[in-house]
Structure 1
Amino acid sequence: MHFSTLVALSCLLSLGATAQTIAGQYDCLPAGGFTLCQNLWGELAGVGSQQSTLMSSTEQTVQWATNYTWANGPNNVKSYANVESIASKGVQLQNIASAPTSWAWNYTTQSAGIRADVSYDIWFGTASSGSPATSASSYEIMIWLSGLGGITPVGSQITTGTVVANHTWNLWKGPNANWEVLSFVSAAGDLNSFDVDLKDFFTYLISEQGVAPTQYVQSIQAGTEAFVGTANLVTTSYSVSIVPT
C-alpha cells in the first residue's frame, strides 16, 4: 500500500472516529460552542426518518449534516434539525454592536418534489433567557436562505424586494401561539454561502417593524425545516457570535 493511500485512509478513519450521529426525535449533542439537535417535532404529521451527524466543531465553528426521508402531510413541517449557539444570547438588541455570522451549506442529494427550507431561527423575548417556542418568546425571526417546493412561512407577505444586509428579501409576518413570526425569504434563490452581520436585520426590525430595542436575543439557531422528500444537507462551515457594545 502506498504512503499516500495510508494517509488518506488514516484521515477517513479519523473522521469516522470523531463523527457522531443522532437519530432520536429530540436527541441533542454538545458541539463545541454549539448544540446540535434533531428536533423532529412534527414527525407524527407524516412518515419517515431523519438523522443528524456532527462532523467537527470548535468554540467558533461547526460542521454537520442531516439526512432525511419524509412522506405524507406535504404542508406540515416534520423537523427542524439545527445547531444552536451556546454563547450568542442574553443581550438586548440595543446593546449589540455586531452579530457576525457565516454559513456555507449545500444539498449533496435531494429528491424531486422536495419541500424544505434552510433557515436561521432567532428568538427574542422580554427576559434575558428563555427556551424557544414557549411562553418566554415574543418574536420568532426566520431568515430563509432556501425555500423549495413552493412552501411559504407563517402569515402573509408584507414586503417585496426589501434589501437588508446587502441581500434582497420578501418579508412575511404572522402570529404563532403567543409570539409573532417575521420571516425574511431570499428573493434571489438559494444563498449557499452566506456571510453577513445579523445586526442589520435587528436594526431593520426595530426601525421598520416596531420591534422594541429592549428585546433580548434568547436563541440563535440554524438548520432546516423538512416537509417532504429525501435529502442530505451538509453544512461545511457555520459560525455566529454577538459582540456587545
Structure 2
Amino acid sequence: MHLPALALPILFTGLSAAQTITGQFDCLPAGGFTLCQNLWGKTFGVGSQKSTLMNATTGTVAWATNYTWANGPNQVKSYANVESVSAKGIQLQNVASAPTLWDWTYATQSVGIRADVAYDIWFGKASSGNPATSASAYEIMIWLSGLGGIQPVGSQITTGTVVANHTWNLWKGPNANWEVLSFVSAAGDLNSFDVDLNDFFTYLVEEQGVAPTQYIQSIQAGTEAFVGIANLVTNAYSVSIVPK
C-alpha cells in the first residue's frame, strides 16, 4: 500500500539521456507513463532513494530505483513506481484485455532486504480519482516478489489460486476507506511477467465480489521498500487496456 504523491511533478521535455529524480515526491514524464519517487514513509526510517528514467516511449518504459533504508523494518518507506497515463478510466465490465509485460531484476541487493516488487491497481466508483483517497474503493496488488518475510495488508484467504497461468496466495483486508486484495506469487520471484491483467479483473468479479461497474482509476508498477540496500532495474515495462 502506498500514499499518493503530494508535490507537483518536475517536468522535462523529451528524453535525450538518463534522468534522475531524488526528492521525496518528485515525478517525471516518461513517454506514456509517469515515473514517481513517492517516498511517502521515509520518516519511518533513515535513508535515501533515487529513481532514474533510462528510456521511454508511448508504449514502453525502462527505469531503475536505487535505495538505502534502515530502521522501522515493518514500515514501508517508499513506492517508487511508474503509472500508465492512458490505462485507466474504464469499467471492468468493458475491458476486453489488459496486456502487460514487466521484465525486471535486482542488479544489486543486500542481505536481509525487506521489499516487494508489485503492481498497485486502483478501482473506484468514479471513472477517475487519485489513488489512496476517498475516491478509492479497491487496491489490487500483484506481488511478483516479496523478500524478508513481509506480508500484505489483511490476512491470507486462499492458497494456490491460479490466475493468468501463475499460482498465487490471496490476501485481503481493509485500509482506510478501501479494500486491499493482494495476489502474492507462490512460486518465488516472477522476473519476466507477461500476462493479461484482465484475468485478475475477471477473477475478482467472479470470485471476490468486486462489482463489474468499478472503474480502473490507476495502474502502477514499482517496489515497496522497507529496509535494505538495492538497485532494482526494470528493463522493459508496458501495460495497456483494450476495450470491448
Structure 1 length as normaliser, TM-score?
A: 0.93
Q: Secondary structure at 2:133's aligned position in 1? A: coil
Q: Does the alignment pair 1:212 with 2:211? A: yes
Larger Rg: 1
The CA deviation at 1:170 is 0.1
Letter in 2 for 1:79: S
Corresponding pairs, count: 230
The CA deviation at 1:68 is 0.1
* Corresponding residue for residue 41 of structure 2: 42
Mapping 1:133-152, distance limit 5 Å:
133-152=132-151
The CA deviation at 1:221 is 0.1
Q: Does the alignment pair 1:73 with 2:50? A: no
Unaligned ranges ≥5, structure 1: 1-15
Q: Secondary structure at 2:227's aligned position in 1? A: strand
* Corresponding residue for residue 105 of structure 1: 104
- RMSD after superposition: 0.8
Mapping 1:77-226, distance limit 5 Å:
77-226=76-225
* Identical residues among aligned pairs (%): 83
The CA deviation at 1:17 is 5.4
The CA deviation at 1:51 is 0.1
| CA offset digits 1:176-230 (Å, max 9, x no partner) | 0000000000000000000000000000000000000000000000000000000
Letter in 2 for 1:113: G
Q: Secondary structure at 1:18's aligned position in 2? A: coil
Distance in 2 (alpha carbons) for counterparts of 1:43 and 1:158 = 30
Distance in 2 (alpha carbons) for counterparts of 1:127 and 1:219 = 12
List structure 1 segments (4+ residues) > 6 angstroms apart after TM superposition: none
* Corresponding residue for residue 4 of structure 1: none
Distance in 1 (alpha carbons) for counterparts of 2:102 and 2:88 = 18
Letter in 2 for 1:49: S
Distance in 1 (alpha carbons) for counterparts of 2:175 and 2:23 = 26
Distance in 2 (alpha carbons) for counterparts of 1:163 and 1:115 = 25
Distance in 2 (alpha carbons) for counterparts of 1:177 and 1:50 = 26
Distance in 2 (alpha carbons) for counterparts of 1:102 and 1:68 = 24
Distance in 2 (alpha carbons) for counterparts of 1:218 and 1:235 = 23
* Corresponding residue for residue 3 of structure 1: none
Q: Does the alignment pair 1:236 with 2:217? A: no
Distance in 1 (alpha carbons) for counterparts of 2:186 and 2:16 = 40
Q: Secondary structure at 2:202's aligned position in 1? A: helix
Q: Secondary structure at 2:52's aligned position in 1? A: strand
- Identify the structure with the greater helix proportion: 1
Distance in 2 (alpha carbons) for counterparts of 1:139 and 1:17 = 37
Letter in 1 for 2:148: G
